[in-house]
A and B are shown apart, each in its own frame.
Chain A
Amino acid sequence: MSLQTTSSQTIGPYLHIGLTWLVTDNLAAPGVSGEKVAIEGRIVDGDGNAVNDAVVEIWQANAQGRYAHPEDTQDKPLESAFKGFGRVMTDNDGVFRITTIKPGRVPAPGSGLQAPHLNVTIFTRGLLKHLITRMYFSNEPANDEDPVLQRVPAERRQTLIATPSGGRPGAFKWNVILRGERETVFFDY
């Protein structure tokens, strides 16, 4: 028996009421292994205006490249202190900040490995269904062989790659443009 998926509706402007309780802006609890990274980004609309009422959610593997989920049966260590879920709200300037560890490489379809990436969902007023995107890391040789990045037109790939920010170690900048020139690549799955 097959059922139709329930229709999506916008998260609306008052999302904070229902979702703030689970805000998780630091995934890297003390003792979690891996390279600590601090990601800052700004979400803007088609006019370049700040999207100040978005929620950004992160799903990522641990530093060894394993997801804390029963479907991931790889022979790699799990860390009980690392869940891989993040949730942050944008502020009045459309800015979000998240501290985490750089994920390891997870298997690619068929064979090989994907480049380190965060799986990202964006919800906001004006989105009737959420957006799916990914954040990769610059100066990462594995990006060149990542099967998902390879599907993205070369001239748009940079929109998915966070760049080092301010010379501080582990600080990355990744802005999201919902619409228009240099629009971020969003995925359909």
Chain B
Amino acid sequence: MTSRPQNLQKNLRTEALAGYRKPDRDTQPDYYYPPYASTVKRSPSQPLVILPTTLSEVTGPLFGYDVIKANDSDLTKQGNGDPIGERIVVSGRVLDGNARPVANTLIEVWQANSAGRYPHRRDDHNAPVDPNFPGCGRTLTDTQGHYRFVTIRPGEYPWRNHYNAWRPAHIHFSLFGAAFATRLVTQMYFPGDPLLEYDPMYTSIPNERARQRLVSTFDWETTIPEQALGYKFDIVLRGRDETPFENDMKLPG
């Protein structure tokens, strides 16, 4: 290495950055959770190494309206005709851990059709594919963190995790938030689904109230008369500390 960058380094003092708070441990699943069989071979066995807060964690990809097309948030309008199933409106807000709206953030969703089948080469469930339902959508939140999708209610479907295993009806959600640290992929469930208590993905979350926050609620306000039932699902991304932690400012050793 030449001497120039080293000199630069000596003079460079970076302002300490406020970090993102970790979620309460019992609100998140562990990686290793044998009731969900695929975790056994795919979860890390070594302890994770704690990252300090650096510019790499508090920045992250941002997306704009240039990536969104007109019908991307209406999953019932993506084929040549109407998909089979019960139309629903899924809406809510994306907030951060400090209860502030997360504005203009990308949300991606995907789901099975009303018969519980994905149009995917690895889904061999003996239920019909719906040619009018590709089953994916995306949108950006507005300035107040609101989002809204129109879709059809997804069906439950069997999987091979254990004997007579069925996934509860769910919609997959993928969110970015403001930073690399706030990335979240989760699933939204439906109220009153009897399959939830048998589902190892749902039960992988130790905290009962945290689990229940993944269950949407029926919402009369967003229900469209003679058209579609409304379900509400709010999402909370990690919140940021107000001030930097001393711990993060020190180099180790």
Residues of B within 8 A of A18 (CB): 108-110, 135-136, 138, 172, 174
- Known contacts: A7-B28, A11-B185, A128-B30. The answer to whether A187 contacts B51 by CB under 8 A is yes
Residue numbers in B under 8 Å from A72 (CB-CB): 55, 59
The main secondary structure of chain B at its interface with chain A is loop
Binds A, one of B81-89, B117-125, B190-198, B217-225: B117-125
Task: Report A-chain residues with C-beta under 8 Å of the C-beta of B235.
Answer: 6
- In the complex, chain A residues whose CB is within 8 Å of the CB of B122: 13-14, 53
User: Which among B17, B33, B55, B119 has the greatest number of chain A C-beta atoms within 10 A?
Assistant: B55
Q: A49 at the A/B interface (Cβ < 8 Å)? A: yes
Residue on B nearest A132 in the bound complex, by CB: B51
Across the interface, B201 reaches (CB within 8 A) one of A9, A109, A184, namely A9
Q: Is the CB of A69 within 8 A of B43?
A: no
| Contact assessment for B59 and A129 in the assembled complex, using a CB-CB cutoff below 8 Å | no
Given the complex, which residues of B lie within 8 Å of A14, measured CB to CB? 110, 112, 118, 120, 122-123, 172
Q: Which residues on B sit within 8 Å (CB–CB) of A114?
A: 54, 56
Is the Cβ of A180 less than 8 Å from the Cβ of B249?
no
A66 to B204, CA, bound (A): 38
Given A17-B119, A110-B16, residue A151 in contact with residue B252 (CB < 8 A)? yes
Residues of B within 8 A of A (CB): 1, 5, 9, 12-14, 16-17, 20, 22-24, 27-31, 33, 36, 38-46, 48-62, 67, 95-99, 108-110, 112, 118-120, 122-123, 134-136, 138, 172, 174, 178-181, 183-187, 201-202, 204-205, 207, 209-211, 213-214, 235-239, 248-253
A-B contacts besides A8-B29, A185-B49, 15 pairs, CB < 8 Å = A2-B239, A8-B185, A9-B172, A18-B135, A59-B59, A110-B16, A110-B250, A113-B12, A121-B180, A121-B183, A123-B185, A125-B38, A128-B43, A147-B52, A184-B44
Residues of chain A at the chain B interface (Cβ within 8 Å): 1-19, 21-22, 45-47, 49, 51, 53, 57, 59, 61, 67-69, 71-72, 83-85, 105-114, 117, 119, 121, 123-132, 134, 141-142, 147-148, 150-152, 156, 178-180, 183-189
